Amino acid sequence: MSMKDRIAIVTGSGSARGIGKAVATELAKRGAIVVIADIHLQGAETVAAEFNDSGYKAVARHLDVTSRESVAALVADIDREFGKIDILVNNAGITRPSRILEITDEEWDLIFAVNMKGVFYCTQAVLPGMIAQRYGRIVNLSSVSGKRGGGVFGGSHYSAAKAGVLGFAKAVAREVAEYGITLNSVTPGLIDTDITGGLMTPERRELLKQEIPAKRLGTAFDVAAAIAFLASEDAGYITGEEIDINGGSHMD
Ligand SMILES: NC(=O)c1ccc[n+]([C@@H]2O[C@H](COP(=O)([O-])OP(=O)(O)OC[C@H]3O[C@@H](n4cnc5c(N)ncnc54)[C@H](O)[C@@H]3O)[C@@H](O)[C@H]2O)c1
């Protein structure tokens, strides 16, 4: 599954313990040049420096996925520097554990802007190049919350946005399949990262672990390994699909 000379953008990959960084690591290990793109430029720079010190190839860029201008600027910049984009992983995401009666318009719009509209902006921006080169791999971070509702830490807005990502990916997958472009999504359960770690007491973590058939939380690597496969050349006949990564806690 060599990804030598593939150019990959991973959004939201500047978080030290995040899924995005783990994805970028798996792609870089396979030979891809990885764009560490994050709203927190400093985090992205730290990750990219770490990669380059380890012999991987990476560049850091600022990206706000909620801004069409920011997305367009990043894609133009990477196109200029590397001449193409082969892989996009739509990983940037935020959650809020609000119950339905607490959700304000502002919070609803923010959750949708990052988790759903950001996926639209980034996908739309890379597609012209992918269509022209007749090759592309796009993988989205949805969530088990988007399939069954009631994710542990996401409210109904988060579930709705993550479900929206699945429908969006299927529809676009049909439109671009003939150009050698695939769009797939992963639907992780509870993964141990900052997004979840900050919301868990040690007691709650223990309780949640016991509810998972695998008796452990997922790791960022568990998710990254599946994404690396979907982003590889070998997965060329898989499109519009979803992979559950949840230790058995939800099965379709
Ligand atoms: N951790 C879990 O249990 C879990 C489960 C299912 C799905 N997910 C999804 O996986 C993805 C990664 O989550 P994580 O757990 O690694 O969280 P994380 O908070 O560690 O990483 C999210 C990253 O997105 C970046 N980001 C936020 N807003 C952005 C914006 N507007 N533009 C660009 N970057 C932005 C953050 O700076 C951060 O680096 C998210 O989409 C999340 O919804 C996580």
pLDDT band at 151 (very low <50, low <70, confident <90, very high): low
pLDDT of residue 1: 77
Ligand 1 shell residues, CB under 6 Å: 11-12, 14-15, 18-20, 38-40, 43, 63-66, 91-95, 114, 141, 143, 188, 190-191, 193-196
pLDDT tens digits for range 186-203: 999 999 988 787 778 889
pLDDT tens digits for range 200-230: 888 988 999 999 999 999 999 999 999 999 9
Q: Is the pLDDT of residue 32 over 80?
A: yes
The preferred substitution site among 45, 67, 94, 244 for testing ligand 1, maximizing ligand atoms within 8 Å of CB, is 94
Q: Is the pLDDT of residue 153 over 80?
A: no
| pLDDT mean across residues, the chain | 96
pLDDT tens digits for range 70-95: 999 999 999 999 999 999 999 999 99
Segment 24-28 mean pLDDT: 98
Q: Calculate how far, in angstroms, residue 91's C-alpha sits from the geometric centre of ligand 1.
A: 6
**Domains present along the chain, CATH in parentheses:** 7-241 (3.40.50.720)
Q: Calculate how far, in angstroms, residue 95's C-alpha sits from the geometric centre of ligand 1.
A: 8
Segment 165-171 mean pLDDT: 98
Q: Where are the strands (E) in the chain, listed by range?
A: 7-11, 33-38, 57-62, 87-90, 136-141, 181-188, 242-245
pLDDT tens digits for range 41-64: 999 999 999 999 999 999 999 999
Contact 119, 146 (CB under 8 A): no
Q: Is 121 a catalytic residue?
A: no
pLDDT of residue 134: 98
